[in-house]
Amino acid sequence: MKALTFVAPGKKELVEKPKPEIQKPTDAIVRITKTTICGTDLHILAGDVPAVTSGRTLGHEGVGIVEEVGEGVKNFKKGDRVLISCITSCGKCENCKKGLYAHCEDGGWILGHLIDGTQAEYVRIPHADNSLYHIPEGTDEEALVMLSDILPTGFEIGVLNGKVQPGHTVAIIGAGPVGMAALLTAQFYSPAEIIMVDLDDNRLEVSKTFGATHTINSSDGKAVEKIMEYTGGKGVDVAMEAVGIPATFDICQQILKPGGYLANLGVHGKPVEFHIEKLWISNITLTTGLVNTTSTPMLLKTVQSKKLRPEKLITHRFAFKDIMEAYEIFGNAAKNKALKVIISND
């Protein structure tokens, strides 16, 4: 089978690999029909995730058709159309019983990280009963690819961790796919204002169509000043960091009002400077996290009912054979006006 593999920082290859096989009774083999590229994949290629070793098949998102199941799999059978969660969960360990699926003792974020992932024609899914979801008949499968990772990440790590409430002023720093997912799902809680901040005017314009009430281009270095002016010097109730670099984290910690929440969603490859000398007195809450995907069933219902339309995030489509081109487009998102790409292997 063909698979997109990590070779070394800055280098990837589309190679032939053996089709995965059942290794444990709880495994399933899924034929990928649609997958995508995540910003985390770009962080891996930049060398920010050293646990990813040479030869690893990348990818942790996608939908597909069950090809084979182990004898311990009870909820799925050959031919089922399934959504693949970016998080693998045994459902039995101490962390899983607390809902911390991200830190499953025999799973967590392993696809495209510690085991081969979804940017291939086939993928092995451990603990299939807890790590796959049935696709309802007639549901837009491209939209569901967004439910593998970015929608639950934006919702759980941004909106829920940030305690977004009716009437809040929310600032989302970074209008990439995860920032947009946070924008879409924040509206479940009716905040009064959602300020989107980015360097890319195209993404800012798109965010307005998704519900942003105000946008700021931060290329002039005056984002903090503009947000404080816009909020009458008070700052925001919730600041979401959705990029993963020191500069955007710094914006977030400067714009919080007393009692505010800083919800970090970005994948950071470098240390940030945390100004505890200023913030210790402000009663702020800083949260971090890797998505648990506990919200996926609820989000699946909102997509099925058309209350949530994540397919709006899709800007480019490719055949699997053109995945290298897809990376080129996604890796130069501003130039190509790209948000999410769909890679099809139908």
Distance CA 227, CA 194 (A): 11
Instruction: Report the share of the chain in percent with pLDDT over 70.
Output: 100
Regarding beta strands 11-16 and 62-69, do their DSSP bridges make them parallel or antiparallel, or are they unpaired?
unpaired
At residue 83 the predicted structure's pLDDT band, cuts being 50, 70 and 90, is very high
What class, spelled out in words, does domain 152-288 have in CATH? alpha beta
Beta bridge partners of 317: 342
Q: Is residue 61 a contact partner of residue 110, using CB atoms and an 8 Å limit?
A: no
Listed by start position, the domains of the chain span: 2-149+292-344, 152-288
What is residue 118's predicted lDDT score, i.e. its pLDDT? Answer: 98
User: Helix (H, G, I), strand (E, B), or coil: what is residue 317?
Assistant: strand
Chain segment 238-259, per-residue pLDDT in tens = 999 999 999 999 999 999 999 9
Decide whether 2-149+292-344 matches 152-288 in CATH topology.
no
Distance CA 13, CA 243 (A): 26
How far is C-alpha 218 from the geometric centre of its chain's CA atoms? 23
Q: What is the CA radius of gyration of the chain?
A: 20
Q: Which two tokens stand for residue 107?
A: 């799973």
Distance CA 13, CA 51 (A): 18
Checking if the pLDDT of 346 tops 90, the result is: no
At residue 101 the predicted structure's pLDDT band, cuts being 50, 70 and 90, is very high
What is residue 327's predicted lDDT score, i.e. its pLDDT? Answer: 97
Backbone angles phi, psi at 130, to 5 degrees: -105, 0
Chain segment 149-189, per-residue pLDDT in tens = 999 999 999 999 999 999 999 999 999 999 999 999 999 99
CA-to-CA dists, residue 163 to 185, 226, 231, angstroms: 12, 24, 19
Which residues are CB-neighbours of 89 under 8 A, at least 6 positions away? 96, 101, 104, 107, 108, 127, 130, 131, 293
Checking if the pLDDT of 52 tops 90, the result is: yes
How far is C-alpha 10 from the geometric centre of its chain's CA atoms? 21
SS3 content of the chain, % helix, strand, coil (to 5): 30, 25, 40
Mean pLDDT (whole number) for 108-133: 98
At residue 269 the predicted structure's pLDDT band, cuts being 50, 70 and 90, is confident
What class, spelled out in words, does domain 2-149+292-344 have in CATH? alpha beta
Distance CA 127, CA 134 (A): 15
Instruction: Report the share of the chain in percent with pLDDT over 90.
Output: 96
Q: Is residue 87 a contact partner of residue 39, using CB atoms and an 8 Å limit?
A: no
